Structure 1
Amino acid sequence: MDADTPLARWESRSEPPLFAASLLYLGAYAVHVLDPGLPAVGHALLECLIGLTWALFAADYALRVRLRGERFGPRYVRRHLLETVVVLLPLLRPLRMVEIYQVVQRGRQRPKLSLYGRVIAYAGTTAVLLGFAGALAVYQQERGAPGATIRTFGDAVWWTCSTLTTVGYGDVTPVTAAGRALAVVLMLLGLALLGAVTGSFSSWLLQVFTREDEEPPAR
């Protein structure tokens, strides 16, 4: 992307504060879910903060559509899927840390991390953020549901870890429709993360072994 375009200038200015807002959103949502004993006014303030940060994300999305000069529709959504997803599911907003890295590195000739290092770093951080957000969301949906096996946040974390890694022990499972929908999303993202890390690691090993084979024998 040309660094002189209006969109590039907006991204360079907006991505860091929006990333901070996404962490604020995640923190407020975590306190709202994990501390049911908080006074009603506290929960009201947290809900207000959650709504305000979401409004920032929605405004940013609308401005990006305008700056790109593209018509909003199914084609736009397909081309900018991650941007759309993080507006619909704000808990995933920290996954846009890739954009933060690109903004910081824009204008430099070479990134500090290799391609393989970047993929593994992104995938690892994404797994942690996604696991925490997924555990919060499924815990909120499942606690108190009739027949629920996910009764504590610890159960939700355990279930999320087994789901993201595609192990699926089955000792705790969601019983609500929303919880099962979240499970499908986590399964798909878990497969994508495992594929990215495994593929990058295999490519790195192949590159190392190829380089060693091409080196002349020592005399």
Structure 2
Amino acid sequence: MTFTTLFIDLDDTIYPPEKGVWDAIGEKINKYMETRVGIDASEVPVLRENLYRTYGTTLRGLMLTRGIDPADYLEFVHDIPLREFLHPTPELRALLERYPLRKIILTNADRNHALRVLNILELNGIFEQIIDIMDMLPYCKPLPEAFQKALEKAGNLRAEECIYLDDNVANLRTAKELGFYTIHVYPEKNCTDCHAHIPYLQYLPQVLDPLLKEVNRS
């Protein structure tokens, strides 16, 4: 099987988790649950964790249990000063441009947030497609239906021709079960059943170069 496509997660994968973006988004999620949904602040952390574990994302959980408007939620929680956290990464752009594979962002965030992140990192034009949470509704990662919708929207691809990169272990496990080649991108190696691990996206050649060379030989 020849690999044709790289699916890459956005937050905490395109940039390192220690940048603090997700912490800032998390604070906004808590504030949304308190101010927009009317949940007591003392109850938010436990409820948010339960929604995440039960439904895949807090957003999907709030949609199914509280009937919230996803567009309102996404606009609220992504309203953070991204330029305080992220900066251009020309070396990452050069690295990704080395590979002739299709490159697609697959994110549980929305398209506007993804575009803002890519613009600040100066990765505009690298990714031919952004498949966001609105494209996957009523599902989300790590649900297998979300990945199936992503494959369809990318042109009815087969999972076996795709490489998937993410920091989230649950997402990677689902992708692997469906047939994706999975690369865990996280400072700590804690995905024991992923195909490969790198601490940051800048280390991608260590895995991708030998993988593509092996495929070309077979």
TM-score where L is the length of structure 2: 0.26
Flag the structure with larger Rg.
1
Q: Counting strand residues as a fraction of each chain, which structure ranks higher?
A: 2
Q: Counting helix residues as a fraction of each chain, which structure ranks higher?
A: 1
